[in-house]
Protein backbone atom coordinates (compact mmCIF):
# COMPACT_ATOMS: atom_id res chain seq x y z
CA UNK A 1 0.00 0.00 0.00
CA UNK A 2 1.52 3.31 -1.07
CA UNK A 3 1.55 5.78 1.80
CA UNK A 4 1.03 8.77 -0.47
CA UNK A 5 -2.22 7.51 -2.05
CA UNK A 6 -4.14 5.92 0.79
CA UNK A 7 -4.81 6.34 4.48
CA UNK A 8 -5.83 3.67 6.95
CA UNK A 9 -8.97 3.51 9.05
CA UNK A 10 -7.08 4.52 12.23
CA UNK A 11 -5.65 7.55 10.40
CA UNK A 12 -9.11 8.50 9.15
CA UNK A 13 -10.52 8.08 12.65
CA UNK A 14 -7.94 10.54 13.97
CA UNK A 15 -8.78 13.07 11.23
CA UNK A 16 -12.52 12.82 11.92
CA UNK A 17 -12.17 12.62 15.69
CA UNK A 18 -14.03 9.31 15.79
CA UNK A 19 -13.16 5.87 17.05
CA UNK A 20 -11.71 3.28 14.70
CA UNK A 21 -14.87 1.20 15.16
CA UNK A 22 -17.10 4.13 14.13
CA UNK A 23 -15.09 4.66 10.94
CA UNK A 24 -15.07 0.93 10.23
CA UNK A 25 -18.88 0.87 10.56
CA UNK A 26 -19.17 3.81 8.16
CA UNK A 27 -17.00 1.94 5.66
CA UNK A 28 -19.14 -1.20 6.02
CA UNK A 29 -22.34 0.87 5.49
CA UNK A 30 -20.84 2.50 2.41
CA UNK A 31 -20.81 5.99 3.93
CA UNK A 32 -17.04 6.14 3.49
CA UNK A 33 -15.62 4.75 0.27
CA UNK A 34 -12.70 2.38 0.87
CA UNK A 35 -10.98 -0.51 -0.81
CA UNK A 36 -10.12 -3.76 0.83
CA UNK A 37 -6.48 -4.79 0.81
CA UNK A 38 -6.14 -8.20 2.37
CA UNK A 39 -7.74 -7.95 5.80
CA UNK A 40 -7.45 -4.16 5.95
CA UNK A 41 -9.27 -1.23 4.38
CA UNK A 42 -7.66 1.76 2.73
CA UNK A 43 -9.27 5.10 1.97
CA UNK A 44 -8.02 7.01 -1.05
CA UNK A 45 -6.68 10.44 -0.11
CA UNK A 46 -8.79 12.05 -2.85
CA UNK A 47 -11.88 10.87 -0.96
CA UNK A 48 -10.79 12.54 2.29
CA UNK A 49 -11.61 16.06 1.03
CA UNK A 50 -15.07 14.84 0.04
CA UNK A 51 -15.59 13.16 3.41
CA UNK A 52 -14.54 16.32 5.22
CA UNK A 53 -16.93 18.37 3.10
CA UNK A 54 -14.18 20.33 1.39
CA UNK A 55 -14.93 18.85 -2.01
CA UNK A 56 -18.46 18.01 -3.11
CA UNK A 57 -19.35 15.59 -5.83
CA UNK A 58 -21.85 16.67 -8.49
CA UNK A 59 -24.51 14.38 -6.96
CA UNK A 60 -24.07 16.08 -3.58
CA UNK A 61 -24.28 19.54 -5.16
CA UNK A 62 -27.53 18.59 -6.90
CA UNK A 63 -29.02 17.30 -3.63
CA UNK A 64 -28.13 20.55 -1.87
CA UNK A 65 -29.61 22.61 -4.71
CA UNK A 66 -32.85 20.61 -4.55
CA UNK A 67 -33.07 21.09 -0.78
CA UNK A 68 -32.52 24.84 -1.09
CA UNK A 69 -35.14 25.13 -3.83
CA UNK A 70 -37.68 23.15 -1.78
CA UNK A 71 -36.98 25.26 1.32
CA UNK A 72 -37.44 28.49 -0.62
CA UNK A 73 -40.68 27.23 -2.15
CA UNK A 74 -42.13 26.21 1.21
CA UNK A 75 -40.71 28.90 3.49
CA UNK A 76 -39.78 31.76 1.15
CA UNK A 77 -42.17 34.27 2.71
CA UNK A 78 -41.11 33.39 6.26
CA UNK A 79 -37.45 33.71 5.32
CA UNK A 80 -38.07 37.13 3.76
CA UNK A 81 -39.82 38.31 6.92
CA UNK A 82 -37.03 37.00 9.12
CA UNK A 83 -34.51 38.78 6.93
CA UNK A 84 -36.21 42.12 7.55
CA UNK A 85 -36.02 41.78 11.33
Delimit the domains of the chain by residue range.
1-54, 56-85
- pLDDT at position 2 is 46
Could you tell me which of 78, 16, 5, 76 has the C-alpha nearest to residue 45? 5
Say what the pTM is: 0.58
Contacts 24+ apart (CB under 8 A), 51-56: 51/12, 51/16, 52/15, 52/16
Across 48-76, average pLDDT: 83
Percent with pLDDT over 90 in the chain: 45
| 1-54 carries CATH number 1.10.10 | yes
Per-residue pLDDT band at 50 (split at 50, 70, 90): confident
Give the three-state DSSP class for 9: helix
How many residues are given for the chain?
A: 85
What lies within 8 Å, CB to CB, of 35 at 6+ separation is 6, 41, 42, 44
The answer to whether 3 touches 39, Cβ cutoff 8 Å, is: no
- pLDDT at position 55 is 63
Amino acid sequence: MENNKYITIPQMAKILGLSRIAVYKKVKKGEIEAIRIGRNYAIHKKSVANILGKDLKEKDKNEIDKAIKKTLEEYGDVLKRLGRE
